[in-house]
Chain A
């Protein structure tokens, strides 16, 4: 099955700096890569996702890059703010013939702390 490794497990940055979280996956059949943010005591929520036919995707201060050859993908957060403090999870899944990501495998999470 799929194995997703995520690094670092904790990350502390100063407000305004950039943060980068990296993930590697093992199954070459995976082609859908979402990132979820979980604030303390809350449920995970999707912040951005990417499919393997795209190498990079941006949404305001957040970007994700994908290197399918090397089987790794990264989350980039620029101009970090205190409200970015949370646990971030990467995930990977193949998309079935109907486009469903049925078996989403998550990384172990990165706790991001943005300090003032």
Chain B
């Protein structure tokens, strides 16, 4: 089954304790992206990756890091989490090949709800 898998789904942590949210897709998609969803603010892009070893900042990258060492994986790293990073996080992927049906259609993971105390 084609899917994007995020882990953990739920996490409560404390300020300053480094954490990583993993994201893996099995569709051979080139493009992957991280979003955070907060009430009243919609989905905001944190980082995205066009392909292996190619990453770029989205609209709200402060406090986050990413890496794309393999095509299927795109982990989100919070080096020193703070309470304002309490949010629902979504990883998504899509085919980036222009002109093919389904290109740019984001497949989202199930979401990771993070609470930073």
Contact = CB atoms under 8 A, between A and B. Distances in A.
B105 to A, nearest CB: 5
A103 B35 CA distance: 11
Given A44-B90, A108-B40, A103 B111 contact: no
Interface in A13-60: 32, 34, 36, 43-46, 49
A100 B108 contact: no
Contact of B103 (A36, A45, A99, A105): A99
A14 B86 CA distance: 36
Interface residues of B, number: 28
A6 B43 CA distance: 12
A32 B44 contact: no
Interface of B: 31, 33, 35, 40-45, 48, 50, 56, 58-59, 90, 94, 96-99, 103-106, 108-111
Interface of A: 1, 6, 9, 32, 34, 36, 43-46, 49, 89, 91, 93, 95, 98-109
